[in-house]
Structure formats: C-alpha cells, structure tokens
Amino acid sequence: MKRDTILAHTLARAYLATGDDQPTAWKLAKLTPRAGRVTALIVMWAAALDDLEREELGAEEYAAWAAESRATVYRQLHDFRELWHDETPNRLARALLVAAKASGESRPSPMTLVPA
C-alpha cells in the first residue's frame, strides 16, 4: 500500500485547489505555508482527541483545549474546508492517530505516514 505524509497530502490538495495544471517548485513553495497551517490543525486536533480521549470534538471544545480564540479556530477551519472539503477534522485526526500508533509513534506529526 502506498503511503505519504499528511503534509504531502495537504500540499497536494492545496495545489489542486488552485486549478493550475503546470506545477513548478515556485508555485508549490508559495502553497507550503497554507498547507502547513492546515496540517498543523489536523495534527493538533488529533492531539486533542487523544488527550481528551474522545472520538469527536466540536470547534468550541477544540478552541478551549488549544487555548485559542473561537475566531482563530473558525479561520483555521475555513482554510481546512477549502482544502479538505470532503473530510472533517475529526475523521482525519482519528486516521492520523491510528497511523501514528501503528508505526509506533507516541503522537502523530506532520510527517506521520498515512495511506494515500
């Protein structure tokens, strides 16, 4: 089974969201900060699920756990939805937790390998 990191999957989705059909290193470099922020949200959401021993969290619960303002979390979720419109943070975070535990990691990271 082919696997890649959650960061690579998110960067690919950021590129696809541009609608551009000519990838260049420069174009990907410009998308990396946004993909990194969305990946950080997914990884932190996974950490919150793990810490709170929950299957799902709402935005407000996550904001309280992360000590972030609700407005910040809703901005992060807006970016998330633009790239992962067919997924939820809960589902990706759970998948990331499973992948991390299967590979012996104590916590998931942006470099955790997940199925492609």
Q: Is the pLDDT of residue 90 over 80?
A: yes
Strand partners, 58: none
Closest CA to 45 of 62, 20, 33: 62
What is the chain's percent helix, strand, coil content, to nearest 5?
Answer: 65, 5, 30
Q: Are 108 and 43 in contact (CB under 8 A)?
A: yes
6-24 mean pLDDT: 91
Q: How far apart are CA 87 and CA 94, in angstroms?
A: 12
Q: Which band of pLDDT confidence, cut at 50, 70 and 90, is reported for residue 108? A: very high
Q: Which band of pLDDT confidence, cut at 50, 70 and 90, is reported for residue 39? A: very high
* pLDDT of 21: 84
pTM of the model: 0.93
58-82 mean pLDDT: 98
